[in-house]
Structure formats: structure tokens, C-alpha cells
């Protein structure tokens, strides 16, 4: 287990105070305190909002889960696991964390029903977007329902450019409501078809009405999981990229992954994505399109099984590395 805390570094307490954390009182700064419970456990200037290129926004919301529950524990588990990641990324040849990652406190939504909570989140997310001033918003869920308000607020914020959503998922979530809830995890995509086009990747469990929506809607492109797994054929990556517009919101349901990698999710479907092929695709997405926001949802941690939590934390860090890499590329041209 890497221990990144440098016991000889002076003034950690002062730095922590500067970024508004629970800093130790004066005179106790040099005791061996644990890393802060924020993304990567960062405690230097790179964790401050002013220095940040990306901002983590935990939304531990869960209300309409249909099968296995626990997604409300997802954000805390991701942050906890992230504290044990290595900061160096050999694919980037650097520590992407140095570009600054700020972690917001968890956002608590009203418990007066899913419709009220999702309306509230759309308003809050819009205000966060204004305050970020171009920093990448990274929302951690929570159930997939939270993506709809984020996508609606992002589409409004873009003002003109039609938003493309890249949805990595086992499910299409194109139901017109589910179990009486219009703003369900199973209907978030349907709720946003009026403001965004969709490219859905890794899909392998859908209902007949959802297939009818896919066939009817011009703005929905589906890459079935079967197409991703044809040996030696990465053509699906090109087809997905071609269907994406210039501005992309990435929503990543962790049930996209095969349950052998991530069993800790409400509805694990066999035949999902693997690690390196998925990263290869996402690196292209970040470099060939502009990702304007992203979320990672539906991790429901299993007590005693921390590998899935660690994988999802590492996924978030890889995505941030790709974002910073793409920003450098855009700055150079
Ligand atoms: Mn799903």
C-alpha cells in the first residue's frame, strides 16, 4: 500500500487550512495525520479550488433503485479508494493530479420524492457549472437518475451547440418512467432526448419498448456489447466517435463493466466491457472531442470487497488524465 504522506514536509497544516479542510490546530501540524478524505487524498495546493482543472462533486442520491441497493455509498467508497492510488500515470508520463483536482463536499438532496430531488439537482448543477468557470465537473453517484438533471443543465449551459451524451452502460435507460417514477435510473436517457443526442456503448439488457425508441429516434446510436467483443475488431470505436458531436457529456454507469471486474452494482449484466479496451476508446474520445462534463454512477460497494471500488477510483483518475492531456493538446494548436 503506497503511503504518499511525506513526514518531513513542513507546513502541511498551513496548506490544509488554506484549502479549507479540517486542519489540525496550531502546534499539532507535524503529527502523522492520515491523508484527507478527498479525491486522491490530495492535501497540497493542487487540491485547492483556485488551482483545480477539475472538480469532484459527490452526489450520494439513491431513491428508485430496482434490484440491489447501496449506490448511495458509492461516492464515499470511490473517494476512500482513491486515497490509495499511485499519483504517477505511466500512460501520461506524469502525475495528472498536478493539474489540480478539487473535491466538493457531498450534495444532499431533498427526500420529498424523486421528481423534487431531480428538479433541485438541475438547479444546483447549473449553479455549480457557473461557479466552475471552465473547470471539468466530475459528478460521483449515486444512482443513474442524477445524470438527467446534470445533462439538462449542461445542455442549457452550452447555449447553442447541441450536446452529445456518451453513455457507457449495460442498459439503455430509455424507459418512459419506471415503477411509477418518471425520473428513474431506468429512464434518465429518455428524459433528456429533447436536449441531447446519445451514443450508448456496451448495451446488453433492454426492453422491447426501449428498442422501439432506439429505432424511432434519430439521435440515438447504440453500440451493442456483442459488437465490442468481436476479436481484433475495433471498428465500433470509429462508429461511436463518428456519431458524437463536438461537445460531449460522458455518463459512465459502472455496470458497463463485466461483473467479473465490477460485481458491486445494482444490476450486474454478464458480457460487459474490459479495462484496457475501454480506456483505449475513452482516451480517443477525450482527444478527438471536447468532454464538457462527466459522471460515474451506480457503484454499490460490497463490504469486504474493495477491488471494484479501487477500479472505479482508478477509472476516474484515468479520465482526468485524458482530460488534462486533451486540454494540453487544444492549448498547443
Ligand atoms: Mn446500467
Q: Which domain holds residue 182?
A: 39-332
Lookup result for grid cell 471498428: 235
Q: Are residues 27 and 46 in the same domain?
A: no
**What CATH number does residue 280 fall under?**
3.40.800.10
Q: Are residues 199 and 324 in the same domain?
A: yes
pLDDT at 6: 53
- As a whole number of Å, the end-to-end CA separation of the chain is 40
- DSSP per-residue string spanning 95-164: -GGGG-EEEPPPPPPPSS-HHHHHHHHHHHHHHHHHHHTTPEEEEEESSGGGHHHHHHHHHHHHTTSPEE
Q: Are residues 27 and 140 in the same domain?
A: no
- Residue 8 pLDDT > 80, yes or no? no
Query: How far apart are the CA of 250 and the centre of ligand 1, in A?
Result: 14
3-state secondary structure of 246: coil
Distances (CA, A) of 47 to 20, 50, 81, 309, 310: 10, 9, 17, 21, 20
Q: Are residues 183 and 317 in the same domain?
A: yes
Q: Are residues 88 and 230 in the same domain?
A: yes
pLDDT at 161: 84
> What is the Cα–Cα distance from 272 to 259, expressed in whole angstroms?
7
Q: What is the CA angle 254-196-201, rounded to 5?
A: 35
pLDDT tens digits along 166-193? 999 999 999 998 888 888 888 999 999 9
Query: How far apart are the CA of 185 and the centre of ligand 1, in A?
Result: 8
Query: How far apart are the CA of 264 and the centre of ligand 1, in A?
Result: 12
> What is the Cα–Cα distance from 308 to 84, expressed in whole angstroms?
13
pLDDT at 17: 40
- Residue 147 pLDDT > 70, yes or no? yes
> What is the Cα–Cα distance from 298 to 69, expressed in whole angstroms?
9
- Neighbouring residues of the ion ligand 1, judged by CB less than 5 Å: 169-171, 253, 255
Q: Are residues 47 and 180 in the same domain?
A: yes
pLDDT at 14: 43
Query: How far apart are the CA of 67 and the centre of ligand 1, in A?
Result: 11
Query: How far apart are the CA of 55 and the centre of ligand 1, in A?
Result: 24
Give the chain's mean pLDDT. Answer: 92
pLDDT at 4: 59
Cβ pair 103, 51 in contact under 8 A: no
Q: Which three cell numbers stand for residue 270?
A: 454478464
Query: How far apart are the CA of 310 and the centre of ligand 1, in A?
Result: 19
Q: Are residues 29 and 120 in the same domain?
A: no
Query: How far apart are the CA of 177 and the centre of ligand 1, in A?
Result: 15
Mean pLDDT for the stretch of residues 2-31: 60
Within 10 angstroms of residue 325's Cβ, the number of other Cβ atoms is 20
Number of structural domains found in the chain: 2
Mean pLDDT for the stretch of residues 149-175: 95
Q: Are residues 73 and 13 in the same domain?
A: no
Mean pLDDT for the stretch of residues 68-86: 95
Backbone angles phi, psi at 192, to 5 degrees: -125, 10
- Local structure of residue 260 (DSSP, 8 states): T
Query: How far apart are the CA of 169 and the centre of ligand 1, in A?
Result: 5
Query: How far apart are the CA of 30 and the centre of ligand 1, in A?
Result: 45
Q: Are residues 9 and 92 in the same domain?
A: no
Query: How far apart are the CA of 179 and the centre of ligand 1, in A?
Result: 16
Query: How far apart are the CA of 245 and the centre of ligand 1, in A?
Result: 23
Q: Are residues 16 and 123 in the same domain?
A: no
pTM score over 0.85: yes
Q: Are residues 237 and 255 in the same domain?
A: yes
Query: How far apart are the CA of 230 and the centre of ligand 1, in A?
Result: 22
Q: Are residues 14 and 46 in the same domain?
A: no
Amino acid at each position: 500500500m503506497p503511503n504518499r504522506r511525506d513526514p518531513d514536509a513542513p507546513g502541511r497544516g498551513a496548506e490544509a487550512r488554506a484549502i479549507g479542510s479540517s486542519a489540525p490546530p496550531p502546534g499539532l501540524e507535524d503529527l502523522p495525520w492520515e491523508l484527507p478524505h478527498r479525491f486522491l487524498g490530495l492535501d497540497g495546493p493542487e487540491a485547492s479550488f483556485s488551482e483545480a482543472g477539475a472538480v469532484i462533486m459527490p452526489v450520494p442520491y439513491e431513491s428508485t433503485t430496482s434490484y440491489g441497493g447501496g449506490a448511495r455509498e458509492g461516492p464515499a467508497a470511490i473517494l476512500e479508494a482513491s486515497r490509495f492510488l499511485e499519483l504517477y500515470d505511466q500512460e501520461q508520463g506524469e502525475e495528472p493530479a498536478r493539474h489540480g483536482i478539487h473535491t466538493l463536499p457531498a450534495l444532499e438532496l431533498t427526500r420529498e420524492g424523486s421528481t423534487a430531488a431531480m428538479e433541485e439537482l438541475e438547479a444546483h448543477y447549473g449553479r455549480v457549472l457557473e461557479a466552475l468557470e471552465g473547470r471539468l465537473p466530475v459528478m460521483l453517484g449515486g444512482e443513474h437518475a442524477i445524470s438527467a438533471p446534470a445533462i439538462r443543465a449542461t445542455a442549457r449551459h452550452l447555449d447553442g451547440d447541441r450536446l452529445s451524451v456518451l453513455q457507457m452502460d449495460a442498459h439503455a435507460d430509455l424507459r418512459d418512467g419506471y415503477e411509477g417514477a418518471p425520473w428513474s435510473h431506468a429512464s434518465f436517457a429518455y428524459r433528456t432526448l429533447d436536449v441531447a443526442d446519445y451514443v450508448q456503448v456496451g448495451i446488453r439488457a433492454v426492453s422491447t419498448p426501449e428498442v422501439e425508441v432506439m429505432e424511432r429516434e434519430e439521435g440515438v446510436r447504440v453500440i451493442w456489447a456483442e459488437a465490442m467483443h468481436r476479436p481484433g475488431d475495433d471498428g465500433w470505436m470509429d462508429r461511436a466517435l463518428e456519431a458524437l458531436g463536438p461537445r460531449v457529456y460522458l455518463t459512465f454507469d459502472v455496470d458497463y463493466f463485466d461483473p467479473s471486474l465490477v460485481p458491486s452494482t445494482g444490476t450486474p449484466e454478464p458480457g460487459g466491457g474490459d479495462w484496457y479496451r475501454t480506456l483505449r476508446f475513452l482516451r480517443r474520445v477525450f482527444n478527438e472531442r471536447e468532454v464538457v462534463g462527466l459522471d460515474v454512477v451506480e457503484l454499490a460497494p460490497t463490504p469486504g470487497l474493495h477491488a471494484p471500488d479501487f477500479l472505479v477510483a482508478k477509472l476516474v483518475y484515468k479520465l482526468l488524465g485524458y482530460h488534462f492531456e486533451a486540454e494540453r493538446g487544444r492549448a498547443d494548436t
